[in-house]
Structure 1
Amino acid sequence: MQPPTGPLDRRRPRVFLALAVAIVTVAGTLAAAHGRPAGHPDGWQGGWPAAVPASRPLDAGALLLVLVAPAALALLLPHRPRTAAVLGAAATGTYLLAGYPWGPVVGGAAVLLAGVLLSGPAAPARRAAWSGAVVLVGAVWSAAALRDDAPGTAVLTAGAAWLAVLLLLAGGLRERLARTARARAEAARSLAERQRTAVAAERLRIAREMHDVLAHSLSAIHVQAGVGLHLLDRDPEQARTALANVRATSGEALDEVRAVLGVVRDGGAGPSGDAPLAPTWTLEALPRLVELAGTGRLTALDVDPRARSVPDHLAGVVYRVVQEALTNVRRHAPDATRVDVRVAVADDDGTGTGTGTGTGTGTGTGTGHRTLVVTVHDDGRTAVGAPDAGAAAPEGTAAPAGYGLLGMRERVEGVGGTLDAGADASGFLVRAWLPWPRLPEDGPGPVRGNAERLAPPGGPQPAAPPAGDPQEER
């Protein structure tokens, strides 16, 4: 049995409609029987033929036949539409062939057929309703041919036409309600899909934030703790400094975790409802990142003065790209002796204006725009999959590849930029191009780290490996 899908599938509206049809048909039949002329001496009067025998008086059987259509509407639909249609048409034909007065009994059968069309699956309901209409019209015309008091041909034809109009209107109503139901279902599915997508995006955002915070801080703590253990007996003062750095780094990590959790917990709860989706960082925090990366290696930081006015969302991306790149240096390049960090502003002609170290300049795109070019370069040779003394992996095992580059790429592409990362001729290069849609004013001066600055390397910029060649990514 097919599940009911029509607008009259619910029992309550069908019962109310059946009660209304029963009241109207019974009252109309009684009125028609009371007002029908018994005979007139000549001609026609009121549509009834004169000088004909009176119709059969109403009795209990007549009232039962009148009530068959509303009873079938309430009890047989929506699961037995063909039975209801045939039963209604048969009861009406039996009523008329028995000689009871002409009246609204035909209207009750017509309403039943409309109810059949509005109940259950569409195709079976349509076939049952129109088949029942053919049976009903045939029964009425047969009774009219056998009775002397039948209405004229014009009246019978008009009744058949109105029955067809009623069924067409019911079919159109059902189709319109079906379209509305489909639109609502599609909107509900679309809303559910948007909610699932939003939940997935939120999970990804939280995972990316926690990865950036914990991976950077824990790797720095791991390196500093290793230095402290190594120097504990030979150089207690240096070991004490390393432990102090561990304490400072762990405190900063706790602050960052609190900031991330605060955004997750209180996002959108502000007075304006426009809370940030992630903690905001400024370029002023870059020297501290570079300083932490400088344990056991030479580091340099150069930030274009004009980059000081970069919007907060771009500054956050710059901060995270530099943070993850330096984390990768600690985890995957323990043999690196030098790390260069540069944040430059490329003009429309593709030239950068930063001074100091860096491994290359980006290419700005778009008229009226500038491009932030973030470059992190180290001279390490260790790649993912090689033994990593700086990673927390068992001795003799390979350091597993993480989600750092994926997270960087997602952040950069989220603001319309591009990211290149891979081994070059002298080490490993991470470079990000971030579109900056407005022209900033020059800042007061470059931001510099506390570590020693290196002279810019000469010669052409290292190129990424060609497609198809092995690329050592971290």
Structure 2
Amino acid sequence: MQRRFRGPPTAAIVVAVAVFEVVGTVVASARQPDHRPLDALAFVLLLAGPASLSLRRRAPLVMLPAAAASVVAYLALGYAWGPVFLSLALAIVLSAAAGKRWQTWAVAAACAAVLVAGAAGSGDEFALVRAFAGTSWLAILVLMGEGVRLRTDRVAERRRQHEAREQAARDEYRLALARDIHDVVAHSLSLINVRASVALHLGEKDPAQFRPALEAIKAASKDSLAEVRQLLGVLREDAPLSPAPPPRLDRIPGLADDARRAGLEVSLTQPEAAAVHQLPDAVQEAAYRIVQEALTNVVRHSGARKAAVVLALEGTTPAADAGRQLTVTIDDDGAGAAGVPEGNGVTGMRERAAAAGGSLHLAPLNLSPLRPGWRVRAVIPLAAPPAMPGPERETR
């Protein structure tokens, strides 16, 4: 789609050109007594050229022919030379800048043909030289307009690309918020639901379990509320996306304890603390959230009794991150999720693994015909790509 050139206000252009042409021609005609004196028709033609410039946005296809016709008529009637060409020159530049390439070149060629024909019929030996100079100026004016159009298009393209990058950053920002809200709310509410069920079931039979269950519910709800408040602050643009340090692998034992309190027998295997401490924050956060969501799904949906969480560093170059990867495996002896559509949790795990440059795989274990089991395995390279920043905010 062709873009119209947006320049100075049209009214200002028309008035400035009209004043310059009329005043300049009146002054110039005083030194050309051999030409036809200026009359009412001359002033009409002098004003017709600037008036045609007012059509540059409403009817750009009419602007250039009207300006050319007024100039040709003025010169054909033998009036004095002057700055009458200014309106035609501006019309050529504006027309080319507006993307009317074929029309601009056609009108410029027609004007050049009129110049050459007039020079050939005048018998003046220098007329052809002047006609050649005029033709060259016509070409230069068209090229100037083309240059303005190309520059305008480049600026518009850069603006479009900038807006596309900002939109992508906003989309990624919202997606990260959605993942965090889901992880926090789903995990905490699952624990609260399980512990509330335990409290209701054992409240009368085993009153000693009633208080620990309520304490677990209180702790889970407190942590959940704190994280939800922080995320709501982000949505109100009162806080950045991650004002606090992201969750790290040293908090995974807490996830295992939460699952154990919900009745799941969890075993945990992790690398040495020194090796874990050196892992990039993005890798640790992705691994933590994947373990969190996987254990939440096991507690809520699988009916499993046991789960095993294994984190391992793999690779052949321990002195550098290149070529190394962190594998996160969560096995359970539950019913699995074969044939069940993926929910937001699994989608979030896949997105977190992909954002860290890794991948996520889900597969049945086939432990036995009665309890097939299920495996969630993520592979995250340590040389992870940088996270996309959130959208820029205006400073007030």
Q: Tell me whether the two structures share a fold, i.e. TM-score over 0.5.
A: yes
* Structure 2 gaps, min length 5: 368-372, 385-396
Is 1:83 aligned to residue 58 of structure 2? no
User: Distance between the aligned counterparts of 1:371 and 1:345, measured in 2?
Assistant: 6
Change (3 A) 1:425 1:385: closer
Is 1:113 aligned to residue 88 of structure 2? yes
Change (3 A) 1:373 1:332: same
Deviates more, 1:219-228 or 1:229-238: 229-238
Deviations 1:418-468 (A, max 9, x none): 221221112111111222249xxxxxxxxxxxxxxxxxxxxxxxxxxxxxx
Alignment partner, residue 303 of structure 1: 270
How many positions carry a matched residue from both structures? 362
Change (3 A) 1:73 1:119: farther
Instruction: Give, in angstroms, the shift of residue 89 of structure 1.
Output: 0.8
Alignment partner, residue 434 of structure 1: 380
User: Distance between the aligned counterparts of 2:267 and 2:221, measured in 1?
Assistant: 23
Alignment partner, residue 396 of structure 1: none
Deviates more, 1:114-123 or 1:190-199: 114-123
Alignment partner, residue 32 of structure 1: 32
User: Distance between the aligned counterparts of 2:8 and 2:107, measured in 1?
Assistant: 15
Alignment of 1:267-286 (within 5 A): 276=242, 280-286=246-252
Is 1:410 aligned to residue 351 of structure 2? yes
Does the 8 A contact of 1:348 with 1:367 survive in 2?
A: no
Structure 2 counterpart of 1:410, one-letter code: E
User: Distance between the aligned counterparts of 2:114 and 2:306, measured in 1?
Assistant: 95
Alignment partner, residue 217 of structure 1: 188
User: Distance between the aligned counterparts of 2:315 and 2:116, measured in 1?
Assistant: 84
Name the SS of the counterpart of 1:343 in structure 2: strand
RMSD of aligned alpha carbons: 3.0
Alignment partner, residue 342 of structure 1: 310
Alignment partner, residue 78 of structure 2: 95
Between Structure 1 and Structure 2, which shows a larger proportion of helix residues?
2
Q: Which one of 299, 316, 320 corresponds to residue 289 of structure 2?
A: 320
User: Distance between the aligned counterparts of 2:87 and 2:356, measured in 1?
Assistant: 63
Deviations 1:191-247 (A, max 9, x none): 221121111111101001101111111111111111111222222222332222111
Q: TM-score, normalised by structure 1?
A: 0.69
User: Distance between the aligned counterparts of 2:246 and 2:234, measured in 1?
Assistant: 10
Change (3 A) 1:4 1:135: farther
Does the 8 A contact of 1:11 with 1:74 survive in 2?
A: no
User: Distance between the aligned counterparts of 2:109 and 2:14, measured in 1?
Assistant: 20
Instruction: Give, in angstroms, the shift of residue 302 of structure 1.
Output: 1.8
Change (3 A) 1:56 1:202: closer
Bigger Rg over Cα: 1
Change (3 A) 1:93 1:4: farther
User: Distance between the aligned counterparts of 1:301 and 1:158, measured in 2?
Assistant: 93
Change (3 A) 1:288 1:82: same
Identity among equivalent positions (%) equals 31
Is 1:104 aligned to residue 81 of structure 2? yes
User: Distance between the aligned counterparts of 2:4 and 2:107, measured in 1?
Assistant: 14
* Structure 1 gaps, min length 5: 34-54, 97-102, 145-151, 269-274, 350-363, 387-399, 439-474
Change (3 A) 1:162 1:11: farther
Alignment partner, residue 365 of structure 2: 424
Structure 1 counterpart of 2:81, one-letter code: P
User: Distance between the aligned counterparts of 1:56 and 1:434, measured in 2?
Assistant: 87
Q: TM-score, normalised by structure 2?
A: 0.81
Instruction: Give, in angstroms, the shift of residue 299 of structure 1.
Output: 1.3
Q: Which one of 160, 170, 183 corresponds to residue 199 of structure 1?
A: 170
Deviations 1:145-176 (A, max 9, x none): xxxxxxx6222112211210111110010000
Instruction: Give, in angstroms, the shift of residue 325 of structure 1.
Output: 0.6
User: Distance between the aligned counterparts of 2:148 and 2:31, measured in 1?
Assistant: 36
Does the 8 A contact of 1:345 with 1:371 survive in 2?
A: yes
Structure 2 counterpart of 1:325, one-letter code: A
Q: Which one of 206, 211, 218 corresponds to residue 247 of structure 1?
A: 218
Alignment partner, residue 49 of structure 1: none
